[in-house]
Structure 1
Amino acid sequence: MTITRRLSLLLMAGASALALAACGGGGDSADSDGVVLHRGNGAEPLTLDPHKASGTWENNIIGDMFIGLFTENAEAEPIPGMATDWSVTEDGMSWTFTLREAVWSDGEPVTAEDFEYAFRRILDPATLANYASLLYPIRNARQVNAGELPPEELGVTAIDAQTLRIDLEFPAPYLPGLLTHYTTFPVPQHVVEQYGDAWVQPQNIVTNGPYKLVNWRANDFVLSERNELFWDNENVCVDEVFYYPTVDNPAAERRVRNGELDLNVDFAGQNLDFLRREIPDYVRVHPYLGIVYFAFNTTEAPFDDPRVRNALSMAVDREFIATDILRAGQIPAYSFVPPGVNAYPSDARVTWEDVSVEERREMAREMLIEAGYGPDNPLRFEYSHRTTGDNPRVAPVVQQDWSLIADWVQPEIVGIETQIHYANLRAGDFSLGDGGWIGDYNDAYNFLFLGETDSVPMNYSRWSNPEYDALVEQANRTLDAEERGDLLSDAEQILLDDSPYMPLVYYVNKALVNPAVTGWEDNLTHIHRTRYLCMAETD
């Protein structure tokens, strides 16, 4: 990973954000007499284009502005969105949707052609969509995204203005969950074609959801206001919503306690006991469909050797990190797919789970010596981590864990701003880096697709295993749920044995929510759309 590369990405991100901020309208604060919500939102978004976003902090804003064929209820379960009805062929390979009568925020009708255009746009290689591989279950999506077929060959067809058909490569029983994801949202063809990439700037954007962007001040706030033309506007309570980047958890906690933020989507785990004493009614902790993991860049030494990857993985004391560092109920992870996934046996585990960490470090030392490392050939590598949340506190702990293997294991840790860090991972410009993955829908494939050869750039490790790919493909073509789950579990075992990714802990939801905020429901995916929230009257 080069300093030049990091600097160029920082400059590009800063220039983009400043350009958007300069185009914003509105003021610093709400002048409305209506209900205003102030949300702490984690990192600063790099984009609000559904086809170019890749972070939960972006999803929190984009999902308030756009609605796909399906959407989430307050419990984050899939419910009909723009689709009012649908049918599925007996083989599960073709879904036909009837759209509701709805308009964009400029009054133009939302049509099946907007959906067809959106799916073609995100999968067009010229769009450079980071998340396009999520849509590979759609017929010809992989080939279109690779530039091998034109976008017109994609299996998404507008039958008429209110009817859309999606043809699949294989049966996807999880499709309703996938269709809640922002990669599947419609975009206004008439606006995108007029303004190009500038269509998401506040003065140009039109939306089909409950909110519309009106201002974006880089590293300060994003402001959205109620879209009066939203088809379910009568059931929306909050009139204006501010989203603030809150990369400093302790500072965000103070802002919540001082009443400056109505909620924040995270807090420092080590402060859990303090917060439960000071503001007990605000603290929300709940299971989360997600995992913290480390990605090894398998395309370059030393991590092109599975012995090195496994050695570093087994040397980390996950119990200590979960219990003594994170301290908010996180569970040590010895598999890549977290618990709680539908129709999945969860049998795959690392083979050394029940071995003491001291014994594991002895095993790691022997593996590294076998791989050619030792006093005369030290193992030196760079470990990069996100600078948000608890990640800076975890980094020196794993550095120490690796150093305890032997004094000739010499890791260097480097903190990088979260969005830039993920950009480096996607570009393959890293050696060993941390990351987190939150399930976009409740199915094991949403985790295991990260190991498929063709899932680059989301396959950060660039790992490729033909046996793994074949098992995942076979599972995706299997209609029997139990058989499909077993095949995916077999694939996960290959992933764990070869260790392109190192599972660390399973996430928990952590949030601070003012009890005056009503409608907040703890849920497995930590998605809380503003349309379901309101503010109770307080004395």
Structure 2
Amino acid sequence: MSFVTRHLRRLTMALMLASASLTAATAPAWAEKVLHRGNGAEPETLDPAKSSGVPDSWIQYDLFEGLLIPDGSDKLIPGAAEKWDISPDGLVYTFHLRRNAKWSDGTPVTAADWVFSWKRLVDPKNGAKYGYFLWVVKNAQAINLGKLPVDQMGVRALDDYTFQVTLERPTPYFLSMLHHHSTYALSKTNVEKFGADFIKPGNLVTNGVYKLAEAVPQSHVKLVKNTYHPDAAKTPIDTVMFYPTENLDAELKRYRAGELHITYEVPVTQMQWLRANMASELRLAPYFGTYFFAANLTKEPWKSNKDLRLALNLAIDRNILVEKINQRGELPAYSFVPPGVAGYTQQVPDYASWTQAQREAKAKELMQKAGYGPGGKPLEIEILYNTHENHRKLAIAVASMWQQKLGVKTTLNNQEWKVFLNTRDEKKFKDVVRHGWIGDYIDAASFLDLARSDIGKQNPSGYSNPAYDKLLDQATAAPTAEQRAELMQQAERLMVDDVAVFPLHFYSSKHMVSPKLIGWKDNLLDSHPSRFLDVKE
């Protein structure tokens, strides 16, 4: 071997070693893991006290940490509270907070923050839709209804890390409520510093595993790790991207292109194709929710014409809706509370066992009795729904049934999500509105409370019946679980008999889930915090 050849080989080897050394020095020690999630409509707000939609809650599960948190498999585990004590009489809950918990700005999370946040939720001046959620706490209902000052609420900080709650009466399901976003804590210092702007990126501080990095309307919400969270280091996902996409066909296209790990939903128009071609990635499971229509009971003719409401309710063929329109595993609904509540019997009306022909015959009879139809007044109805292909198809189907069976002229009106929420909540819709409710916790009260006359904006139809309210008050004070269940069952029977709403079907959760996603578990509340998921490359 010549000198030149040896020299060239040594030079080549030196360059290779230098290159390898440079690559090792400049390459990251780990690759960032990013989770891409479809998320339905644009979030209404990320303020946990003022939001009400499921798209908001998916983001809030990641940003905030409740006293208890869902583990993604229908179980609740300690969150901001590492443990708690319950007094022998079941009235006082003492929560011992994690002493190493910090807000995403590095300041400690204290009991004073929890006291501030719970009082903020029930304070009527804040207009929180979920103000009623903590009515089980001592004096909270009276405060929320403007009858007592907020400082009378049964919450206090015993010290920086001990949060104590006194209830009006023993509430066995109280702990199961505490994963809900309305009960999350906010930084008192941060809210007071920024006022209404505390929720904006750059201002918002949170106590969850993630913090808010970006929120671009109609584009995305980006979350990154809150490095101050005690569990941040052992959380696999570094960045979570939420994409609002109301067009489900567009969302599915993004999923099939590999741009999403999870879809928010699946389009009904693609169900047969998905079952045939992507069955292993299609996830359908029972979901603790009810899809329904609500007539505006604050207006005539709906307010005082029960026969008219029942006629429309009977004319809806629910089997067609779930088997021909949706095709996604839902169950027809004739009652309001969905299945899944232990110790509670759904209150199904007699006509649920009739044939559809029998229901339609009765509907025609009731229409005439109400003064509408052949020989009576013509009836024109507007159905309001939020922009969404699946909601549109159901609205078209129901409108067609009312037209064909009862001669009702029906028009459809769709609105963008935030506008729709305001129209619905303020009872500004003309006739009938699309609605759906997902249980906040697995108990009948999570549904039945909505029909209380004093609940405010969350009451879907404006239903008001003192006898109904009294039954729920009695249920709340019942000494045994059996007595409580019986009183709630009586209340549901009453609202079903009054046709407070038109139940259509009980929900199923429906997602496309990538084979790259690790840790997804179907569960009745359809909660899947990103901290318990992972992605494989």
* TM-score relative to the length of structure 2: 0.91
1:433-448 pair list within 5 angstroms: 433-448=433-448
Displacement, 1:85? Answer: 1.6
User: Where does residue 4 of structure 2 map in the other structure?
Assistant: none
**CA distance in structure 1 between the aligned counterparts of 2:415 and 2:354, rounded to whole angstroms:** 33
> How far 1:389 moved relative to its partner?
4.9
- C-alpha deviation, 1:376, in angstroms: 4.5
The separation in 2 between residues aligned to 1:260 and 1:98, in whole angstroms, is 42
1:24 aligns with none
**2:526 corresponds to which residue?**
526
1:30-49 mapped onto 2 (5 Å cutoff): 33-49=31-47
In structure 2, distance between residues paired with 1:300 and 1:366: 23
Q: Distance in 2 between matches of 1:251 and 1:508?
A: 21
In structure 1, what is the equivalent of residue 465 of structure 2?
465
- 1:275-308 superposed Cα distances (whole Å, 9 cap, x missing partner): 2333333211111000101111111111112111
**Aligned ranges 1:370-409 → 2 under 5 Å:** 370-374=369-373, 375-407=375-407, 409=408
Match of residue 165 from structure 2? 166
Are the equivalent residues in 2 in contact too, given 1:403–1:411 (CA < 8 A)? Answer: yes
Count of aligned residue pairs for this structure pair: 504
Identity %: 37
Q: CA deviation at 1:324?
A: 0.2
Q: Does 1:52 align with 2:62?
A: no
Give me the whole-angstrom Cα distance separating, in 2, the residues matched to 1:389 and 1:177. Answer: 33
SS at match of 1:353: helix
Moved over 3 A (4+): none
Structure-to-structure mapping, 1:76-475, within 5 angstroms: 76-101=74-99, 102-304=101-303, 305-346=305-346, 348-374=347-373, 375-407=375-407, 409-430=408-429, 431-475=431-475
Q: Contact 2:367–2:406 (CA<8 Å) still a contact in 1?
A: no
> In the aligned structure 1, how far is the partner of 2:277 from the partner of 2:251?
15
Provide, for residues 41-70 of structure 1, a one-character-per-residue CA deviation record: whole Å limited to 9, x for no partner: 111002111111110100001110111111
Deviations 1:9-64 (A, max 9, x none): xxxxxxxxxxxxxxxxxxxxxxx941011100111002111111110100001110
| Structure 1 contact 76–528 (Cα < 8 Å) conserved | no
Partners of 2:154 and 2:380 in 1: CA distance: 47
Q: Which amino acid aligns with 2:519?
A: G
Which residue of the partner structure matches residue 74 of structure 1?
A: 72
Question: Match of 2:62, as an amino acid?
Answer: D
Q: Which amino acid aligns with 1:329?
A: G
- The two structures, once aligned, show a CA RMSD in angstroms of 1.4
Match of 1:506 in 2: 506
- Answer yes or no: is the 8 Å Cα contact 2:435–2:460 preserved in 1: no
Q: C-alpha separation between the residues in 2 aligned to 1:276 and 1:42?
A: 22
Q: Deviations over 1:165-224 (max 9, x none)?
A: 112223221111210001000000010000011111111111110100011110000001
Deviations 1:132-156, CA, capped at 9 Å, x for gaps: 1122112211221222211111111
Task: Name the SS for the 1:229 alignment partner.
Answer: coil
Aligned-partner residue type, residue 234 of structure 2? N
CA distance in 2, matches of 1:194, 1:429: 35
Distance 2:137 2:371 in 1: 45
CA contact (8 A) 1:114 1:189 kept: yes
User: CA offset at residue 453 of structure 1?
Assistant: 1.1
| CA deviation string 1:249-270 (max 9, x = no partner) | 1111111111011111210234
Q: Which residues of structure 2 form unaligned runs of 5+?
A: 1-29
Structure 1 unaligned segments of length 5 or more: list them: 1-31
Deviation at 1:357, TM superposition (A): 1.9
Deviation string 1:80-119 (CA, Å, 9 cap, x unpaired) is 1111121222332221111111111111110110000001
- CA-CA distance at 1:531 after TM superposition: 0.4
The one-letter amino acid of 1:403's match is: Q
Moved more, 93-102 or 204-213: 93-102
Q: What TM-score, normalized to structure 1?
A: 0.91
Higher Cα Rg, which structure: 2
Change (3 A) 1:406 1:278: closer
Q: What CA distance in whole angstroms lies between the structure 2 residues aligned with 1:314 and 1:169?
A: 40
* Paired amino acid for 2:61: G
Greater CA drift, 79-88 or 365-374: 365-374
SS at match of 1:190: helix
